[in-house]
Amino acid sequence: MMAKISPVSGFTVIYDAHCGVCSRSVAWLRRQRADYPLRFLASDSEDAVRMVPVRPPNQMAIVSPAGEVLLGSDGWIACMTALPSYRWLARVMKWPVVNLFVRVGYGLIARNRSRLSAMLRRKGDACELR
């Protein structure tokens, strides 16, 4: 977790728009019904850089409605709390033993997203963030 920033309306998802896996994840999020507004920003956009100027590579960032910046699997779990159909899963993913597997799984996917994008035949076979 990173420092808090000014509160925002809803969740802001900062992702690598050049990555097929990331873009596919965002497309899935866009199709879901959410209790809070979900805003999506490409990681190389001015707004994203202003909101989260330093972000580890291979990790999405989520800015919560309270202005808290969450990275990687923590961000994904927080974002899922905005989705009524998946809120139960977000709670389960926070359980310590389950969370360990979530973190490992997220890390594996994040580190191999270029290969996964190519296998999925999505745009961005070479993600800009490695």
- Give the model confidence (pLDDT) of 6-60 as tens digits: 555 789 999 999 888 999 999 999 999 999 899 999 999 999 999 998 888 788 9
Of 42, 56, 77, 49, the C-alpha closest to 2 is: 56
Among 96, 90, 92, which residue's Cα sits nearest to residue 78? Answer: 90
Q: Are 129 and 43 in contact (CB under 8 A)?
A: yes
**Confidence band (pLDDT; 50, 70, 90) for 72?**
very high
Q: Is the dihedral of CA 80, 81, 83, 88 positive or negative?
A: positive
What whole-number percentage of the chain has pLDDT above 90?
59
Give the per-residue pLDDT at 89. 97
